[in-house]
Amino acid sequence: MFTKAELIDAINELTDGKHTIQNCERLAAIYTVLDHLYPSDEPIMMSYSGDTAGPSEDAKVGRHGDSEFLRAISTKDNHEAWLLMEELMETLSVINPRLYDGVMRKI
């Protein structure tokens, strides 16, 4: 059985490493195990800024809808939210280029 700390360390190691399909697959597997062994109502958000203090009220994304994603991100820092979206889009461009292209056309 893996500890939560071991799983998060593995996620950090893969996130900081080379971005390959194999690493994306490994990340997906580790996130699945983490979610199964340590379920949480809060989404797992890795901190890109290293800030331990929360975002100021002006820097928060704000609530713009009622989807699970928009509720989860509403209290996050704008900068962190955009870095997360950038990472997601980079992953999407590798895993599903057609869907990525469709999103980029909409933008």
CA distance 77 to 105: 26
86 residue type, one letter: E
Q: What is the DSSP letter of 3?
A: -
Rounded to two decimals, what is the model's pTM? 0.41
CA distance 1 to 68: 30
- Residue 63, pLDDT > 70, answer no
**pLDDT tens for each residue of 64-79:** 567 887 778 777 777 8
Provide the pLDDT for residue 9: 86
**pLDDT tens for each residue of 4-49:** 888 888 888 888 878 888 888 888 888 888 888 887 755 555 544 4
